């Protein structure tokens, strides 16, 4: 599996407008949206940008409502339970902090 680049995340994209991913890509019901309490580990969702195939994002809700609009549509491709480690040796605390502060964390795979 490709390794993600470590320093590509940006949060300035939130000001460009946020769109919802198409409902055809959302399979869970409205109760899947997580209300995260500080200090508790959160369920983290992984998304893939269909506009930029190497771009991924971590988000705190299945619909991806806070993901940056310029990279949409986003497709949910996975979820990480609160008690599981994140893939790619990425620190959970860093990702949760970014999600709490900005609503998402971007990362991308190196081009092969």
Residue 30 lies in a domain: no
Model confidence at 69: pLDDT above 80:
yes
Residue 22 lies in a domain: no
> What pLDDT score does 76 carry?
97
> What pLDDT score does 39 carry?
58
Residue 64 lies in a domain: yes
Residues spanned by the domain of 63: 50-112
Residue 34 lies in a domain: no
- Sign of torsion over alpha carbons 90, 94, 95, 96: positive
| Residue 105 DSSP class | E
Mean pLDDT of the chain: 74
Model confidence at 55: pLDDT above 80:
yes
Residue 95 lies in a domain: yes
What is the count of structural domains for the chain?
1
Residue 3 lies in a domain: no
Lowest model confidence (mean pLDDT) among 32-36, 59-63, 99-103:
32-36
Place of tokens 């705190």: 60
DSSP string for 37-52: PTTS---EEEEEESSS
Residue 18 lies in a domain: no
Q: Are 80 and 86 in contact (CB under 8 A)?
A: yes
Q: Is 97 helix (H, G, I), strand (E, B) or coil?
A: helix
């Amino acid at each position: 599996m490709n390794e993600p680049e470590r320093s590509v995340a940006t949060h300035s994209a939130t000001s460009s407008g946020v769109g919802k991913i198409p409902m055809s890509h959302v399979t869970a019901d409205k109760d899947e949206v997580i209300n995260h309490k500080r200090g508790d580990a959160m369920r983290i969702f992984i998304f893939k940008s269909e506009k930029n195939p190497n771009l991924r994002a971590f988000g705190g809700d299945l619909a991806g409502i806070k993901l940056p609009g310029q990279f949409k549509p986003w497709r949910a491709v996975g979820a990480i339970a609160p008690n599981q480690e994140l893939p790619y040796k990425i620190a959970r605390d860093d990702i949760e902090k970014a999600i709490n502060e900005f609503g998402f964390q971007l990362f991308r795979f190196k081009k092969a």
